[in-house]
């Protein structure tokens, strides 16, 4: 067994962040932990706006689907390269709205967008478009029950409880 260079307090703080340790602590003090699923955002509002601008710029969903799927089938980027200037313009418009940039600043930044970056933006827009559930994946949340009251938290803690500090619930 290796010795740790960390103090007992540092080790306790690190262990306090482990969901298994939290669950064991809650069980020890008589609380139960049930895993519940909650939708997490797959795309931020900014990513949605950016993708929608790109989709619109290349001629809509069917056009984008044709570009990406044809290029993937042919194992090249031939069609994508024909719309990169449109993607650059969409990126410029998005940046002006998103960051409040002047047209001059957005134009300058747009010139710095190289073809690989523009291809990534095009593929991101396609991924957004084909994701049926715009809310995306699910992530676990823990629901802590104590004395008839229910609290929810993320994996990082149950209602403000800190096992490293003696386990009293502050939330």
Q: Which DSSP string corresponds to 90-131?
A: HHHHHHHHHH---HHHHHHHHHH--HHHHHHHHHHHHHHHH-
pLDDT at residue 134 in the model: 52
Scanning the structure block, which residue is given the tokens 């689907």?
Answer: 65
pLDDT at residue 36 in the model: 65
Q: Is residue 71 over pLDDT 50? A: yes
pTM above 0.85, yes or no: no
DSSP E strand stretches across the chain = 32-39, 138-146, 149-153
36-40, 74-78, 84-88: least confidently modelled range:
36-40
Q: Is-contact 56 93, C-beta < 8 A?
A: no
For residue 166, give the 3-state DSSP assignment: coil
Q: Is residue 140 over pLDDT 50? A: no
For residue 59, give the 3-state DSSP assignment: coil
pLDDT at residue 64 in the model: 96
Nearest to 38 by CA among 158, 131, 161, 154: 154
Mean pLDDT of the chain: 77
Q: Is residue 54 over pLDDT 70? A: yes
* Higher pLDDT pick, 33 / 148: 33
Percent of the chain with pLDDT over 90: 45
- Written as six digits, the tokens of 58 are 């290349």
């Amino acid at each position: 067994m290796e010795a740790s260079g960390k103090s007992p307090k540092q080790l306790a703080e690190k262990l306090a962040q482990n969901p298994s340790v939290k669950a064991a602590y809650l069980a020890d003090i008589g609380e139960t932990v049930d895993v519940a699923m909650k939708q997490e955002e797959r795309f931020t509002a900014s990513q949605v706006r950016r993708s929608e601008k790109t989709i619109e710029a290349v001629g809509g969903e069917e056009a984008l689907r044709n570009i990406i799927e044809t290029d993937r089938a042919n194992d090249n980027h031939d069609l994508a390269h024909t719309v990169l200037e449109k993607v650059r313009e969409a990126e410029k418009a998005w940046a002006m709205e998103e960051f409040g940039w002047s047209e001059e600043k957005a134009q300058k930044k747009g010139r710095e967008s190289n073809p690989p970056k523009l291809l990534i933006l095009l593929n991101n827009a396609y991924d957004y478009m084909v994701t049926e559930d715009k809310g995306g994946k699910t992530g676990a949340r823990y629901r802590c029950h104590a004395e008839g009251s229910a609290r929810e938290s993320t994996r990082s803690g149950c209602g403000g409880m800190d096992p490293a500090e003696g386990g009293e619930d502050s939330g």
